[in-house]
Every structure is written in C-alpha cells, then in structure tokens.
Amino acid sequence: MSIDNAPDYELADRLVLTAPEQLRAIADPLRATVLDLPLERAATVAELALAVQRPKSTVAHHVNVLVDAGLVHVVRTRRVRAIDERYYGRTTRMFAVGVIDRPGADPTTVHANALSVAAAEAGSAHAADELRSIVRHARIPAERADELWERVMAIIDEFSATPRSGGTVFGIAAGLYPTDYPTLPDREETQ
C-alpha cells in the first residue's frame, strides 16, 4: 500500500508484537495515546505532554517504556539553549499483535483492552447521537473469518494513512471473535 500521508520521518509499515514487554507497553491507555500521536509527525516529550495534558515527567516515563519496548525511537534532535531536544517517532505505522512467545500467555488481553478503551471513548459520541457502530453475527468457516479480517485491516491501514486535518479526532475500532451466539440448526436436522 502506498502511504500518501507519511509523518515527517521514515517508518516501517508493520511490526508484529510478540514480546510481553511490548504488549504491556501498548496496554496502558496513556502510552497508547502517546504512541498514536507521532503518526502525524515526530514530537518532543514537551509536545506530547501538552497534547495529553499530563506533566512532562509522566510523559517522559511513558516514552521511555515505549522506547525500551522498541515501539518509538528518536528520529532527530535539535539543539535548544545547549540542550539536545529529542523528537520521537514510531518505529512502524501499524502494530499487530502476534502469538505471544511465552507459555500460558493470553493474547486476548491486549485486544480486550483496546475494545474497552474504544467503548469508553465512544460514550460522549453515543450521548450526542454521533456514534456509528454495528455488531453482526454470522456462522462462517475460520478461513473466511481470516479473509474478512484481512479486509478489515486494509480499512484500518487506509484510516491510519488518512492525512491529519480538521478539528475532530475520530476513532475506529474493530473486532472479529468467536461467540456462543445461537445458530439455527442445519436444515437436515429439522426435517
């Protein structure tokens, strides 16, 4: 996919996260926000702190966790009054959660967190009758679910690459999951 709206620094297209420290890093709501902001452009800790309305020391701690997990890095520096100001950018445009490389790990915890964050963020949009959402159920083979998820991810990639502008930040959430939702019996069973 060609990215028309690249930030002001180079970054890879996708990274599959499998290490526990990477998953812990993105599971924190503040770190997830700090991680999302450099998709627009590289930013200093001061700029990130101003955007999330938190103290610089708090944001610096969270940036360091993201750096240690390999999710952000210094993309350039600028000398300001004898101090090097660091600009941080993401290491990749899209992070995907892969199979966690430790026995007994539960890969659903990060996804559950992402959906709960989306639900919490959507509360005011729901109250203002501005929420667009849908839930559907379908009995389909696992292979078809994989194909559909790839198409959903293509839409997410397109959404992420949309040029940043306007006065409103929109969120998009997606999930594809097996359920115990009831199904009709096969026709042969009813005859």
pLDDT of residue 1: 39
Residue range 12-179, CATH number: 1.10.10.10
What pTM was estimated for this model as a whole?
Answer: 0.64
pLDDT tier at 99, thresholds 50, 70, 90: low
The maximal CA–CA distance of the chain, rounded, in angstroms, is 83
Strands 72-80, 12-17: pairing kind: unpaired
Nearest to 88 by CA among 36, 43, 30, 26: 43
Using one digit for the tens of pLDDT, what is the confidence trace for 21-37? 888 888 888 998 899 88
Position with higher pLDDT, 87 vs 174: 87
Is pLDDT at 70 greater than 80 in this prediction?
A: yes
pLDDT of residue 3: 44
Range among 41-45, 115-119, 124-128, 169-173 with highest mean pLDDT value = 41-45
Q: Taking all residues of the chain, what is their mean pLDDT, rounded to a whole number?
A: 82
Q: What percent of the chain lies above the pLDDT cut of 70? A: 84
Q: What are the C-alpha distances in Å from 122 to residues 36, 38, 54, 116, 172?
A: 17, 22, 22, 10, 10
